[in-house]
């Protein structure tokens, strides 16, 4: 680990030494910005240039960020999951350890009424942000965060028994895995084929149209699923320490 850190520090210092001095012009940065602005819609299909940079020009970075979230969810699951196989002693009662010892918000009528009003609005707004990322400010990360907040509020207002009827933590993990797999395949293909991306048959650069943006649209949906499911997974594991129902 020490050798790796020293090597990384050396590489970073070498890169910094090659940067232009403070206040001097950086022609390479200007060329990159001009390429984004002038060729962004044609090359990425996204009217929102920021989404084009995140999910096309810098798709490798976004893929790494998504895997960081997935790795964090795995670590939380390993550390907090409670089942019959990881009791701390032979005398612990699984059902006693798993019993919910927190205050049950779902019994509060104010919380339930607020959830009935807000949850549909939050989920609908999150889907809107998620699907319009290629045309306007928004996209996978922000839309997924809003959807995750809606799922958390639904669980807090109605309890996990109600939420588990349509969205369990196990299903959340499956969606996260499938979304990451699709993202890795869709952009990995581009990396290995010299920027020749998959033909998604989705129109490119159509302002105001949800069904546009080329491959940016399905990639945004994949990233949003990862973010939303990870947020719900964190809350679920910290709140009850199980996958939903009996582990």
Q: What is the pLDDT of residues 126-171, one digit of tens each?
A: 999 888 888 888 788 889 999 999 999 988 888 877 888 888 878 8
Q: How far apart are CA 146 and CA 122, in angstroms?
A: 7
Which tokens belong to 109?
Answer: 């009528």
pTM for the whole structure = 0.71
Q: Which of 65, 55, 31, 49 is nearest to 190 (CA)?
A: 55
Q: Is the Cβ–Cβ distance between 226 and 181 less than 8 Å?
A: no
Q: Is the Cβ–Cβ distance between 139 and 223 less than 8 Å?
A: yes
The SS3 of residue 58 is coil
Find all residues with CB under 8 Å of 208, minimum gap 6, and list them.
Answer: 135
* pLDDT given for residue 9 in this prediction: 97
Burial of 31 (0-12, 13-18, 19+ CB in 10 A): exposed
Q: Is the pLDDT of residue 234 over 60?
A: yes
Least confident of 40-44, 88-92, 149-153, 188-192: 88-92
pLDDT for 38-54, tens place per residue? 887 777 777 888 888 88
């Amino acid at each position: 680990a020490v050798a790796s850190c020293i090597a990384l520090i050396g590489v970073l210092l070498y890169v910094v030494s090659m940067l232009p001095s403070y206040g001097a012009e950086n022609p390479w940065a200007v060329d990159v910005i001009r390429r984004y602005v002038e060729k962004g819609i044609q090359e990425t299909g996204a009217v929102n240039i920021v989404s084009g940079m995140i999910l096309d020009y810098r798709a490798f970075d976004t893929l790494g960020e998504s895997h960081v979230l997935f790795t964090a969810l795995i670590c939380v699951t390993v550390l907090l999951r409670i089942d019959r196989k990881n009791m701390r002693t032979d005398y612990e009662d699984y059902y006693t350890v798993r019993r919910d010892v927190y205050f049950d918000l779902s019994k509060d009528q104010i919380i339930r009424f607020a959830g009935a009003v807000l949850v549909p609005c939050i989920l609908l707004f999150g889907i809107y942000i998620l699907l319009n990322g290629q045309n306007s400010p928004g996209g996978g990360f922000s839309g997924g965060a809003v959807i995750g907040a809606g799922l958390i509020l639904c669980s807090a207002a109605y309890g996990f028994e109600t939420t588990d009827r349509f969205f369990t933590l196990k299903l959340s993990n499956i969606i996260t895995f499938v979304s990451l797999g699709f993202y890795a395949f869709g952009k990995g293909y581009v990396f290995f084929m010299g920027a020749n991306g998959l033909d998604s048959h989705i129109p490119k650069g159509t302002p105001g149209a949800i069904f546009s943006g080329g491959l940016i649209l399905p990639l945004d949906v994949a990233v949003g699923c990862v973010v939303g499911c990870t947020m719900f997974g964190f809350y679920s594991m910290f709140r009850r320490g199980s996958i939903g129902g009996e582990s």
